Amino acid sequence: MRVQIAIVGSGPAGLLLGQLLHRAGIAAVVIEQRSKDHVLARIRAGILEQISQDLLDAAGVGERMHREGLVHHGIELAFGGRRHRLDLYRLTGGRAVRVYGQTELTRDLMEAREAAGLPSVYQAAEVRVHDFDGERPRVTFRRDGQRHEVRCDFIAGCDGYHGVCRASVPAGALRIYERVYPFGWLGVLADTPPVSDELVYSNHERGFALCSMRSPTRSRHYLQCSLDDRAERWSDAAFWDELRRRLDAETAQALVTGASIEKSMVPLRSFVAEPMRFGCLFLAGDAAHIVPPTGAKGLNLAASDVRYLSRAFIEYYRDHSAAGIADYSAKCLRRVWKAERFSWHMTSLLHRFPDQGEFGHKIQEAELDYLVHSQAAAASLAENYVGLPFED
């Protein structure tokens, strides 16, 4: 097979890139090691900045997001036994976020790709990327017992943190920055109504808690847990009891419990690989960076990478200019590090760290109190939460 772009990975980054390239008349194939069902079974967050919403519209897949997604004009911070609302819309001059599950977003992109008859390969084994440091890059894989080769101009590595693309880069060409946090999140998905119309982030002496949602009838809740904990150790009753303990009285009273649909542990880490381009190989999304989910930036950073990368490819083929390709890594990383900073800040502000001590707890309380009573501090958090403007 010969295409212009070979996209490795069919998560939101790879599928969104493929759809944007298709609408620009650029031929691409998506190659995925897992099955479609496995990809759609992944439970991930879905808080979309305006840039992510705009990209879905540009890709022609935003209709269901607008119809079913939940627009949020604020968030709530709970500490000291009370909830405090931050009005994102007012603080940012009319900007908001939208809750729309990543699973649904992925489904929309998959269906659009299938409807257009675009080539996708699922359950591709032994995926390898070759010769990306030259002018004739290739991707090889095995499927149904046969070896296949895709020749292309460029390879987009959208295959996640554990994918083959970043792992194929020579160690000396990569610089890794990483922080692993000394705790994780236990998440529960349930067909129960949310406790509030907006997300509730709770700082509590027993640990962090988050009350979120996927729809008006489906909620998603998280508890800070130790890294050696396991989801199977928690009964539904134990989870709900612990969640109540970490919420203010009003929120705890509003909590509706029920049987869990899904329960899982999520480790927290901050991770950046630099640079994000190696000859004809470009990393995007989780292949290049991971953020703790506290700041709701992971999916949006992937969309940001795709925005830069799709524009670079379109400029290359339409205008015969490699300027966007040359600038891709630097432009992405400026935005990545700002998102890393914000996600680290939110994580540090809301979680209990084992070495923090009482002094650290008091600093957190003072910071939270300052945040909800200072227009400048609240505006800074709001600007980062809804998404920083692009510096094109």
Write down the pLDDT at residue 42: 77
Is-contact 378 91, C-beta < 8 A?
A: yes
Let me know whether 168 and 66 are in one domain.
Answer: yes
Find the catalytic residue in 201, 222, 308, 316.
201
d(CA 88, CA 210): 18
Average pLDDT value over all residues in the chain: 96
Query: Is 316 among the catalytic positions?
Result: no
Query: Is 201 among the catalytic positions?
Result: yes
Let me know whether 190 and 243 are in one domain.
Answer: yes
Find the catalytic residue in 12, 72, 204, 289.
72
Query: 């080539």: which residue's tokens?
Result: 119
Residue percentage of the chain with pLDDT more than 90: 96
Query: Is 317 among the catalytic positions?
Result: no
Let me know whether 157 and 188 are in one domain.
Answer: no
391: in domain: no
Which of 31-45, 106-120, 130-144, 329-343 has the lowest average pLDDT? 31-45
For the chain, the residue count is 392
**pLDDT surpasses 90 at 391:** no
What is the pLDDT confidence band of residue 369, given thresholds at 50, 70 and 90?
very high
133: in domain: yes
Phi/psi at 16 (5° precision): -65, -45
d(CA 283, CA 156): 6
Let me know whether 261 and 273 are in one domain.
Answer: no
206: in domain: yes
Write down the pLDDT at residue 43: 67
Let me know whether 131 and 110 are in one domain.
Answer: yes
In tens, the pLDDT along 89-125 reads: 999 999 999 999 999 999 999 999 999 999 999 999 9
Let me know whether 196 and 253 are in one domain.
Answer: yes
Query: Is 293 among the catalytic positions?
Result: yes
Write down the pLDDT at residue 94: 96
In tens, the pLDDT along 20-32 reads: 999 999 999 999 9
**pLDDT surpasses 80 at 47:** yes
**pLDDT surpasses 70 at 15:** yes
CATH number of the domain enclosing 235: 3.30.9.10
Which one-letter amino acid corresponds to residue 23? R
d(CA 175, CA 232): 36
155: in domain: yes
Let me know whether 119 and 31 are in one domain.
Answer: yes
**Domain membership of residue 166 as a residue range:** 5-72+97-178+269-349
Read off the pLDDT of each residue in 55-69 and give the average, rounded to a whole number. Answer: 97
How many other β-carbons are positioned within 10 Å of the β-carbon of residue 93?
10
Let me know whether 188 and 256 are in one domain.
Answer: yes
Let me know whether 157 and 200 are in one domain.
Answer: no
Query: Is 297 among the catalytic positions?
Result: yes
Read off the pLDDT of each residue in 281-295 and give the average, rounded to a whole number. Answer: 97
What is the pLDDT confidence band of residue 392, given thresholds at 50, 70 and 90?
confident
Count of the separate structural domains present in the chain: 2
Is-contact 88 74, C-beta < 8 A?
A: yes
Find the catalytic residue in 297, 328, 331, 351.
297
Find the catalytic residue in 204, 293, 316, 351.
293
**pLDDT surpasses 80 at 352:** yes
Closest Cα to residue 334, out of 390, 378, 257? 390
Write down the pLDDT at residue 140: 98
Let me know whether 339 and 306 are in one domain.
Answer: yes
195: in domain: yes
Let me know whether 262 and 273 are in one domain.
Answer: no
CATH number of the domain enclosing 336: 3.50.50.60
78: in domain: no
**pLDDT surpasses 70 at 371:** yes
Let me know whether 297 and 219 are in one domain.
Answer: no
81: in domain: no
d(CA 117, CA 273): 34
Is-contact 364 207, C-beta < 8 A?
A: no
In tens, the pLDDT along 164-218 reads: 999 999 989 999 999 999 999 999 999 999 999 999 999 999 999 999 999 999 9
88: in domain: no
Read off the pLDDT of each residue in 137-154 and give the average, rounded to a whole number. Answer: 97
> Exposure string (b/e) for 227-263, b if CB count within 10 Å is 16 or more?
eeeebeebeeeebbebbeebbbeebeeebebeebeeb
β-sheet with 82-87: strand ranges across:
82-87, 74-79, 200-202, 209-215, 218-225, 175-190, 260-274, 289-290
